[in-house]
Amino acid sequence: MTETNAFQMVVSRIDAICDRLNIKDVYRLRLEKCERELTVNFPVRMDDGTVKVFTGFRVHHNDTRGPAKGGLRYHPDVTLDETRALAALMTLKAAVVNIPFGGAKGAVVCNPELMSQAEIERMTRRYTNEISMLIGPDRDIPAPDIGTNPQVMAWMMDTYSMLKGHTVLAVVTGKPVGIGGSKGRLGATGRGCVINARLVAEHLGIGLEGATVAVQGFGNVGSVVARLLAREGSKVVAISDVKGGIYNEKGLDVEAVFRYNQQTGLVVDFKDAENITNTELLALPCDILVPAAIEDQIGKANAADVKARIIVEGANAPITPEADRILNNNRVLVVPDILANTGGVVVSYFEWVQDAQAFFWSEDEVNRQLQVVMDNAFHEVQEISQHEKLDMRNAAYMLAIKRIADAMEARGIFP
C-alpha cells in the first residue's frame, strides 16, 4: 500500500508543522536530512561453509537532544529509505516523551527465519564490528526491533565490549536482565500502547472494560497489547499475524490464543474462531483497533473501510498521510506512533540509566515510572490538540518539533 517513499512521508509531516510553527529554515533543513548514514557490505560464513555478503545500514537522524537511539531490524525487505524514516520517527518519539535522546535506526537485509542461530550470531557480530565507529553508550545505543531480540543485543554488547577491551553494558538496550537488561523492557512497547488506549478511551468516556478490540500483529508488541487489554476486561474479538487472522465476535480467549501461537507459530485455525485476512481485520467494527505489524497497512484504498472509533498505532507508520485525512474526516481518533508506541524507548532509557549507575530497579518501579512518563506525554499532546484544534498526530509533531528546535537554538552552530 506504499503511496510514496517512507522517509518523504515523515518529512512532509515535519514540513507541515514547521510551517505552522514558523520554525527557522536552518532547523527545518536539519530535520529534513539525516545527519549520518552508513551502509556496510560484509561477508559472513554460513553453516555449509559458503560465504554470503550481507548489506546493513545504521542511520543517525538527529542527535541534538542527546545520544542517538534506535532499534536494529533484520528483515529481507528493509531498505535505506525505510531506515531513514524510522530514525526520524525515533527523533520525534524521544522528544514527545521528553527523554534526552536523538533518533537512529539500524537494519540488515536478511531473513532470520531462514538462518540458524549460529549464522545470526556471526552476522550480528560482524555487523556490530562494521558499525562500531558509530555506536557507543554516549553516541548511539541500538535496541531490538523486528527480527531481533535480547540475544542479538547480548551479542552486540559482547562484540563492542571485546573491541573496547572492557565490558560496556550501556552500548545497547533490550539486553537479557542478567547482563544489564531492565526488568519490564520486553513488554514495554505493548504496555505503553495499553496506557495510551486507556487514556484515550477515558477521554471519550468509554473506558476499557467491555470495549471491543482488534489487534493486527501478534509479535512482541501485539501479543502484549492483546493480553493486557484482555486483563483490563476488554473484549478482544480479532487477532492476526503475517499469515492471517482469527475472529470471534463474542471475544477470544487471548491466553489460549497465545499458547496456541507459541506451539504452532500461527494464530490461524484456532479452534474457537473463524479465519480472516489482515485486510478484513482492519475493517471490523470495534471500539479500538491496534495495528501492531508493519508500515503502510491503512492507506487511501482501505481507510474508508475502517470502522473503529479509536486507532492506537502499535507499529511505526501503519497509516499513510492520505489515509490520515480520510480517518480524520470520518472522526476516527488516532493515537499516533510517536506517542502510542514509545513505551519501548522510554524503558530503554531507563535501562541505559540503570546501566550507567550500576543500580537496577524492580519491575514495579519500571512500570510505575513508565506510567508517569506516558501519562505526562499523553496529556501534553492532548492539550495541544484541543488548544490548536488539531488531530493528535499533528499535536504530537508540534510538541516534538518545538522541543527539538528549542534545543537547536540553545546549542547554536559549531564552529
Contact (CB, 8 A) for 128 and 155: yes
Which residue spans within 30-152 are E strands per DSSP? 36-45, 51-62, 68-75, 102-109, 140-144
- Can 307 be counted among the known catalytic residues? no
Contact (CB, 8 A) for 87 and 61: yes
Q: Look up residue 154 and give its three cell numbers.
A: 547480548
Q: Dihedral angle at the C-alpha atoms of 303, 288, 245, 260, nearest 10 degrees?
A: 160
Exposure string of 365-394, with b = 16+ CB inside 10 Å and e = fewer, is: ebbebbeebbeebbebbbebbeeeebbbbb
In terms of C-beta density within 10 A (0-12 exposed, 13-18 middle, 19 or more buried), how is residue 206 classed?
A: middle
Catalytic residue chosen out of the listed positions 69, 93, 105, 175: 105
Q: Output the CA torsion sign for 18, 38, 176, 256.
A: positive
Q: Look up residue 105 and give its three cell numbers.
A: 535506526
What DSSP element (H or E) covers 274?
strand 274-276
Q: Look up residue 264 and give its three cell numbers.
A: 504452532
Residues labelled as active-site residues: 105
